[in-house]
């Protein structure tokens, strides 16, 4: 997955391209590049590494030109080096690409037999070479359509042409692409976020669309080459200017923002006077729902798993959860009376989007829980439930996870109540309990110092385990995911009761084992599982809410978290796990906001 930008203007574009690329770095940051049309030739500059490095190159050797494209890369084909960085150019055409060309090897073989040569190991260069060939006897738009006809896979493209210094061509299939409008300047970008500092007037390309972007106008064509009009959306007010404030990095800022983001979300959904949850426009009447299927990836999938426990508690519905990349290829038993819920912070995750698309094609009822309301997933689903967390910049998802859980918790209560599965008195009580949630999170954040000690103690370990039962099991998985992605320390999240069926063999002297044991119906059982771990030398960090009571002398660390209604423990118990992964990564001097090999928005399969 990568980020692309294109600008057609009446002034030099390279500074704006660099600024937009910095915003797009959440999509990939292993290399960066740009190309402009300068004095009748293509001026391409690129490098492995961050946009900052590209900026330094431009500072030494500026790129002039009123028309240009830019790219940040997350490698799929070929290691991150200069040759594989985008743009990929020949003398007459230059291309930036987000997505994957699935038949690139076949096309490359054919082109090589024809005597064409390649400079990189990327799939994208095939597009450049094909376009160069087609441009010998076709105008740019026709050459683009001819080339697209040969490609299999997904793409968002930005293309400039040496002999046509007035326009950029954009094309979309599978990967998102937005157009922005301003005076004497128009833009192409992977998302509206990258364009927000330049404009709030946005259109979105649909699958198969192509656009020609000049400084004064934007023309759109559908896959049949018919000219089409696009709706222009005005984006909600300036969420674009995010900064770290006094925090060291975005992740810790976002962790500490959680009491506020949860409060905002509660305000959006709860009618305080009537003590009622407002959900509008659900695509299916709750009483008619046969089954709810929750789908997401990574952290978003973990919020689906927690929700399964809530929905099973508050409703008598059948609940299914699935990882989007599995769901999209399974032989699903689709049913028109099911509700399919897609959970995604970015709203652009390719696997989640493809799973949603599959459901749309089957005419199923869909709903999305997203942070970015202008995203592809939000726009494609029948009903959108925003989480109102504000921009999340740290690659590791924190405040969005709590936001997803909160919206899905409210959803579970509401569905339970409307269906008559959840007693109205209990429903009102649970709504009323929620007003304390932001404060409970605030109190939990005060444990940071203790967690710093623990992080110091465990940061050199070679592995770790996270155990929980019931809804604490997905929270254990989330804790393990955070630790591995941020600190590169091996971590496994496991149902505590499963340890004896194999993973107990991993326990050896000093292995850190985080045990998540709120005082719920699983409490005693989890403690027994914990003792089995201690007996084999495991170094236990117990997270519980036992009001300071020491559970066992053999526990290395015990942290007591605030007590709440038991259904709210997933929110509270997530906080120390976020802080733990953060501080371990800090001790290990890892790049907290941009962990290696990852990207914020995963727009490829
Ligand atoms: C982990 C993390 C990822 C994302 C996953 C889905 O901290 O951030 O696992 O949760 O890539 O992304 P979204 O929610 O944007 O669909």
Q: Are residues 428 and 470 located together in one domain of the fold? A: no
In a domain, 417, yes or no: yes
Same domain, residue pair 45 and 178: yes
Looking at the fold, whether 221 and 284 belong to one and the same domain comes out as no
> What's the number of domains the chain is made of?
3
In the listed set 435, 463, 490, which residue is the last one of a domain according to the structure? 435
Domain boundary among the residues 234, 264, 283 is at: 234
162: Cα separation from own chain's centroid: 36
With a cut of 60, say whether residue 287 has pLDDT above it.
Answer: yes
Rounded to the nearest whole angstrom, what is the distance from the C-alpha of residue 352 to the centroid of ligand 1? 10
Cα–Cα distance for residue pair 518/521, rounded to 1 Å: 9
Instruction: Give the distance (Å) from ligand 1 centre to CA of residue 239.
Output: 20
What DSSP letter does each residue of 358-415 carry, written as one string? HHHHTT-EEEEEES-TTSHHHHHSSEEEE-------SSS-SHHHHHHHHHHHHHHHHH
Q: 471: which residues sit within 8 A by CB, 6+ positions away?
A: 306, 309, 310, 569, 570
Report yes or no on 600 lying in a domain. no
Ligand 1: residue of 26, 389, 397 to mutate (most ligand atoms within 8 A of CB) is 397
Tell me: do 109 and 249 sit in the same domain: no
**CATH assignment at residue 387:** 3.40.50.10490
Instruction: Provide DSSP, 556-590.
Output: SEEEEPPP--GGGHHHHHHHHHHHHHHHHHHHTT-
- Which tens digits make up the pLDDT trace of 165-193? 999 999 999 788 999 999 999 999 988 77
pLDDT above 90: residue 317: yes
Examine the domain organization and report whether 474 and 572 are in the same domain.
yes
249 and 221 within one domain: no
Helix (H, G, I), strand (E, B) or coil at 101: strand
Residue 237: band (very low, low, confident or very high) from pLDDT cuts 50, 70, 90: low
Would you state the pLDDT for residue 240?
A: 42
Residue 199, phi-psi category: left (phi > 0), alpha (psi -120 to 50), beta (remainder): beta
Q: How far apart are CA 61 and CA 207, in angstroms?
A: 38
pLDDT of residue 598: 79
Which residues are bridge partners to 318 per DSSP?
A: 291
601 lies in some domain: no
Q: Give the range of the structural domain holding residue 254, as residue numbers without chain letter.
A: 243-435
pTM: 0.75
Contacts 24+ apart (CB under 8 A), 55-63: 55/18, 58/14, 58/18, 58/34, 62/14, 63/14, 63/34, 63/35, 63/36, 63/38
* Residues β-bridged to residue 9: 185
Angle between helices 437-445 and 258-269 (to 10 degrees): 170
Domain boundary among 378, 403, 435: 435
In this structure, is residue 195 part of a structural domain? Answer: yes
119 is catalytic: no
- Are residues 467 and 541 both part of a single domain? yes
| Residue 505 forms part of a structural domain | yes
What's 107's domain CATH number? 3.60.20.10
Q: Is 604 within the bounds of a domain?
A: no
Measured distance between the N- and C-terminal CA atoms of the chain, rounded to whole angstroms: 9
pLDDT tens track for 269-280 = 887 767 889 876
What value does the mean pLDDT of the chain take? 93
Cβ-contact 208, 151 below 8 angstroms: no
**Are residue 226 and residue 258 in the same domain, yes or no?**
no
Average pLDDT over residues 253-280: 87
521 CA to centre of ligand 1 in angstroms: 30
Residue 212 domain flag: yes
Are residue 226 and residue 313 in the same domain, yes or no? no
Residue 239 in this model has a pLDDT that exceeds 70? no
- One domain, residues 280 and 318: yes
Atom of ligand 1 nearest to the CA of 601: 15
Pair (249, 286) in one structural domain: yes
- 478 and 541 both lie in a single domain: yes
């Amino acid at each position: 997955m990568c980020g692309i930008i294109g600008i057609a203007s009446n002034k030099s574009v390279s500074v704006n391209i660099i600024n937009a690329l910095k915003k797009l770095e959440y999509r990939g940051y292993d290399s960066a590049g740009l190309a402009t049309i300068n004095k009748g030739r293509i001026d391409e500059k690129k490098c492995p590494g961050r946009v900052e490095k590209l900026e330094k190159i431009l500072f030494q050797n500026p790129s002039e030109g009123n028309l240009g494209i830019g790219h940040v890369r997350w490698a799929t084909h070929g290691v991150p080096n200069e040759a594989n960085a985008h743009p990929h150019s020949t003398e007459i055409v230059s291309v930036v690409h987000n997505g994957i060309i699935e038949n690139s090897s076949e096309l490359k073989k054919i082109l090589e037999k024809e005597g064409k040569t390649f400079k990189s190991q990327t799939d994208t260069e095939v597009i450049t070479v094909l376009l160069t060939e087609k441009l010998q006897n076709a105008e740019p738009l026709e050459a683009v359509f001819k080339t697209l006809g040969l490609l299999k896979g997904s793409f968002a493209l930005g293309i400039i042409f040496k002999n046509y210094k007035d326009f950029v061509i954009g094309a979309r299939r599978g990967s998102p692409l937005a157009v922005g409008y301003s005076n004497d300047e128009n833009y192409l970008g992977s998302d509206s976020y990258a364009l927000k500092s330049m404009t709030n007037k946005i259109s979105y390309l649909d699958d198969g669309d192509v656009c020609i972007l000049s400084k004064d106008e934007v023309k759109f064509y559908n896959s049949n080459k018919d000219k089409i009009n696009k709706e222009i959306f005005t984006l909600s007010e300036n969420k674009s200017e995010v900064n770290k404030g006094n925090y060291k990095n975005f992740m810790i800022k976002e962790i500490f923002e959680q009491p506020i983001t949860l409060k905002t979300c509660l305000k959006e959904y709860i009618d305080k006077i009537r003590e009622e949850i407002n959900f509008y426009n659900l695509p299916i009447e709750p009483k008619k729902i046969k089954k709810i299927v929750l789908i997401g990836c990574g952290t978003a999938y973990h919020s689906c798993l927690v929700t399964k426990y809530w929905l099973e508690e508050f409703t008598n519905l059948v609940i299914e959860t699935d990882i989007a990349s599995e769901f999209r290829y399974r032989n699903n038993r689709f049913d028109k009376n099911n509700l399919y819920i897609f959970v995604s912070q970015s709203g652009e995750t390719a696997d989640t989007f493809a799973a949603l698309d599959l459901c749309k094609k089957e005419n199923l009822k869909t709903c999305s829980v997203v942070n970015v309301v202008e995203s592809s997933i939000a726009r494609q689903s029948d009903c959108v439930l925003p989480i109102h967390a504000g921009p999340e910049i740290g690659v590791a998802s924190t405040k969005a996870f709590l936001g997803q859980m909160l919206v899905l918790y409210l959803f579970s209560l509401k569905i339970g109540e409307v269906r008559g599965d959840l007693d109205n008195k209990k429903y009102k009580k649970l709504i009323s309990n929620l007003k304390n949630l932001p404060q409970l999170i605030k109190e939990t954040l005060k444990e940071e110092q203790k967690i710093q000690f623990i992080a110091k103690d465990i940061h050199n370990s070679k592995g770790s385990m996270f155990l929980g039962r019931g809804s604490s099991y997905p929270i254990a998985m989330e804790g393990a995911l955070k630790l591995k992605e941020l600190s590169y320390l091996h971590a496994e999240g496991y149902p505590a009761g499963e340890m004896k069926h194999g993973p107990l063999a991993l326990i050896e002297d000093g292995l850190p084992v985080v045990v998540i044991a709120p005082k719920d119906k699983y409490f005693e059982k989890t403690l027994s599982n914990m003792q089995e771990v201690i007996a084999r030398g495991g170094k236990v960090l117990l997270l519980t809410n036992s009001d300071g009571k020491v559970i066992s002398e053999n526990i290395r660390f015990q942290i007591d978290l605030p007590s709440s209604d038991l259904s709210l423990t997933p929110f509270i118990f997530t906080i120390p796990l976020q802080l733990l992964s953060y501080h371990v990564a800090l001790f290990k001097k890892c790049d907290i906001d941009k962990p290696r090999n990852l990207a914020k928005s995963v727009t490829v399969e």
